[in-house]
Structure 1
Amino acid sequence: MAKIRLKFGLTAKTFLAIFTACLLVLAVNGIASRVAFQTGFLDYLNDQGDLRMQRVMPHLQREYSAHGGWEHLRGDSDRWARLLRPDLAHGHEGPVPPLSDQTGVPSRLGLFDAQHRFVAGNPDATSDDEPHAVQVDGHTVGWLGMVPFQTVIATNDLNFYNTQMRAWWVIGIALLLVTVLLAWLVSRALRQRLAKLAAATHRLAAGDYATRIERTSDDELDALVNDFNRMAQALDDTERNRRAFIADISHELRTPLAVVRAELEAIEDGIRPLDRANLGALQGEIRQLGKLIDDLHDLSMTQSGGLAYRFAPLDLAALLRSELNGMRVRFSTAGLALEEDLPATPLQVSGDERRLQQVLANLLENALRYTHAGGRVRVQAARVPAGVQLIVEDTAPGVPADKCALLFERFYRVESSRNRASGGSGLGLAISHNIVLAHHGLIHAEPSPLGGLRVVITLPEPA
Structure 2
Amino acid sequence: MFRTFQSRLVFFFLLVSLSGIILVSLAIKYSFFGSFNDYLETKRSEQVEGVIERLELEYRTGGVLTGETMMPIFHHYAMVDNLFFKLYDDNDIPIIDTTRHLHMGNSHMMDLPSIEELESNQFLLMSDGKKIGVLDVYFPREYENIDSQFLEQFNKYIIVVALSMIFISIIVSFLFSKKLTHGLRQVSNATRELQKNNLEIRIPDEKHVEEINQLAKSFNELALSLSNQEKLRKQFTNDLAHELRTPLATLRSQIEAFIDGVWEPTPERLQQGHGELMRLVRLVDDLEQLLAAENPQIQLRLSEINGKDALESLRASFLPLFKEKKIKLLIEEPRSNFYFQADRDRFFQIMINLLNNALKYTNEGGIVTVTSKLENEDVCFIIEDNGQGISEEDLPHVFERFYRGEKSRNRKTGGVGIGLSIVKALVDAHKGRITIDSEQTIGTIVKVTFHKTNE
Structure with greater Cα Rg:
1
TM-score (norm: length of structure 1): 0.39
TM-score (norm: length of structure 2): 0.39
